[in-house]
Amino acid sequence: MHFASLTVDPAFRVGEVDPRLYGSFVEHLGRCVYEGIYEPGHPSADEHGFRADVASLTRELGVPIVRYPGGNFVSGYDWEDGIGPVADRPTRIDLAWRTIEPNHVGVDEFQRWAGTVGAETMMAVNLGTRGIDAARNFVEYCNHPAGTYWSDRRRANGAADPYDIKVWCLGNEMDGPWQIGHKTAVEYGRLAAETGKAMRLVDPSIELVACGSSNRAMPTFGSWEATVLAETYDVADYVSLHAYYQERDGDRGSFLASAADMDAFIEAVVATADHVRAVGRHRKRINLSFDEWNVWYQTRFAGEENLAIERTPRLIEDVYSVTDAVVVGNLLISLLRHADRVRIGCQAQLVNVIGLIMTAPGGAAWRQSSYHPFALTSRHGRGTVLRLEPTSPVYETAVHGEVPVLDAVAVLADDADGVVLFAVNRDQEQELTLDVDARALPSLGSAEHVALFDEDPDAVNDEAHPDRVAPRLLDAPKLDSGRLQAVLPPLSWNMIRLS
């Protein structure tokens, strides 16, 4: 058995958790929209065609913001195709995912759905095939009250009140050669700066996200962020980060330490953004929007160029094991650990496509294993992140070098009457006894321990067994004079609530 320890002290604060850290992502990709959130004729469908079972599971997740409509999809998308009478909307070929797009769901329908699940929209604009004019018109359509061409079009389409969408993405992954309208950093930076300026002239209250590198492995990583931020610093509020992780070649030890890569990624982007701030003598600070992250087995995907053009294809529908769920929980720990700078996060994606939720056409909707650490962290990880310095045994990985067996973060409740500890035991064989010193919070008197683990690390949830992998309530650790010991099962994600 391993032993580790940490101290929880409310004096050592990282920052407040922005609830938008627990956002998700809905893209017109595969079955995320059609047969995902939207399926007219489904037994649970509402009068607008949206699945009530999926909406209920989304509300349970506590998702406060959802990025839409892409993703790669947005770089070839004309938003005007998705407004007005559905019968009059054009059917298009989406070149990003080689799919027939019927445009039955557009901005108006999505806003209606988002309202039913209690989420705001994080809207993306097309800076691949389009630019300033389409983007400023889009903001006018969504956010201007009335009395102009586009705001009156919205009202005529049934939305008398403005949508008041606050967060807008200036394109998507524009450094990626796979992107429609791929650009150099200077080309993108200039376009993003002028587009953002025009959008903010329509609505000065909006927040804008500039595209960072598509991932940390891009050859232009770092220099792309520096160039783009030098061009957009005056209009951007955030720079984006995207990262996906998977187990490779049976190296589960490295996979379980994926959060070490996320930590390094975040810290590198923060350093670059602060360098641009210093060089430009700017007063404001650019924060981070980690608006695509998840476990994604990209090696199983044939690649867009190999896809036939079809309607509602089953694309990228990874089924997640308990091991994958532990990694997802650990990635959330990383995001929380950097809550002072990571203000927005979007798990990609919500339904079917590397989704937290899976659906059967005409049938059931169920929670993937990864749903559980996300839902519990979203529900209980609200308040102020506390800085921890755990003492833990370490192990060697081929990818990340030496990493600790224990990874953990603590969140102090807003009323300071409770604290929640999120922790993972990365060891695949041994339990870990965790000693927690919480004497700096003398009002605490009880503890609850919930863990996600399984005797079979490859166990999954599916339609026939939707609850095969689920959180377990373990014996409550005894809190004695401000100290407790909790036993973390092998290969597990854990939540310990102190109150």
Kindly list the catalytic residues. Answer: 173, 292
Rg of the chain over CA atoms, in angstroms? 23
Beta-carbon contacts of residue 271 (< 8 Å; ≥ 6 apart): none
Q: Which of 227, 189, 226, 194 is nearest to 210 (CA)?
A: 189
Q: State the amino acid at position 442 in one-letter form.
A: P
Dist. CA 472–CA 485, nearest whole Å? 18
At 258, is the secondary structure helix, strand, or coil?
Answer: helix
310 phi, psi to nearest 5 deg: -155, 170
- In sequence order, what E strands does 312-391 have? 342-348, 357-359, 365-367, 384-386
Dist. CA 125–CA 211, nearest whole Å? 11
Dist. CA 179–CA 277, nearest whole Å? 28
Contact 200, 249 (CB under 8 A): no
Q: State the amino acid at position 197 in one-letter form.
A: K
Dist. CA 327–CA 186, nearest whole Å? 36
Dist. CA 138–CA 151, nearest whole Å? 9
Contact 460, 404 (CB under 8 A): no
Residue 401 neighbours by CB distance under 10 Å: 11
- Angle, vertex CA 402, rays to CA 400 and CA 405, nearest 5: 105
Contact 4, 405 (CB under 8 A): yes
Contact 217, 289 (CB under 8 A): no
